[in-house]
């Protein structure tokens, strides 16, 4: 199951970018309060709706960072679960679908343990100094769980799984009470 991902924040950045759903432009959302940087490119799967009311988050494992707004066809391989101030938060991990260097990377067990630890550490501390924000990391699950999370997020967004049409627009959905 390949998905389209729009990169918001490139690997190595302390700046957190978001796609503005009204204009479609990249907006600087905030700077991380800690000295840590994003360990991989970080983006969203358009036309999905995660439990937190935003499109699904994805980390894309590439050899070089890309740039905000870059569209990548990604093969999901795992999902990292955490809870933050908004509740359960899934962070998918994937590779570029056509990257020959990662062609054999298909599931969680194929990912070097150290990379998984780096990503987990990032999400454990990246909100640590930010007032009113926190994370409680839960851990990694395999590709089958990642695919289940994607299908649920498509359904939550009212999309028939696999039938997303306009992958270039990230839409904002507000959940009542938030």
Catalytic amino acids?
Answer: 89
CA distance 96 to 129: 32
CA distance 13 to 5: 18
Given CA atoms 91, 97, 62, 164 in this order, what sign does their dihedral have?
negative
42 is in an annotated binding site: yes
Beta partners for 132? none
Q: How many residues does this entry show for the chain? A: 178
38 is in an annotated binding site: no
Cβ contact 26:69 at 8 Å: yes
Phi, psi of 77 (to 5 degrees): -125, -15
63 is in an annotated binding site: no
99 is in an annotated binding site: no
2 is in an annotated binding site: no
Cβ contact 50:153 at 8 Å: yes
- Both tokens of 61, joined, read 């494992």
Annotated binding residues, as ranges? 8, 16, 30, 42, 52, 57, 84, 89, 126
Annotated binding residues for Mg(2+), as ranges? 8, 52, 57, 84, 89
Annotated binding residues for substrate, as ranges? 16, 30, 42, 126
């Amino acid at each position: 199951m390949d998905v389209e991902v729009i990169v918001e924040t490139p690997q190595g950045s302390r700046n957190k970018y978001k796609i503005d759903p009204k204009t479609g432009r990249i907006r600087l959302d905030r700077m991380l309060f800690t000295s840590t940087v994003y360990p991989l490119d970080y983006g969203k799967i358009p036309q999905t709706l995660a439990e937190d009311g935003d499109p699904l988050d994805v980390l894309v494992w590439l050899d070089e960072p890309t740039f905000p707004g870059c569209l990548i066809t990604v093969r999901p391989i795992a999902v990292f679960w955490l809870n933050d101030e908004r509740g359960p938060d899934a962070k998918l991990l994937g590779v570029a679908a056509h990257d020959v260097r990662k062609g054999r990377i298909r599931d969680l067990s194929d990912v070097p343990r150290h990379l998984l630890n780096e990503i987990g550490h990032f999400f454990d501390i990246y909100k640590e100094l930010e007032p009113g924000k926190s994370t409680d990391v839960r851990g990694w699950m395999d590709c089958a769980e990642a695919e289940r999370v994607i299908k649920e997020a498509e359904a939550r967004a009212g999309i028939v799984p696999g039938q997303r049409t306009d992958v270039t627009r990230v839409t904002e959905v507000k959940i009542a009470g938030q």
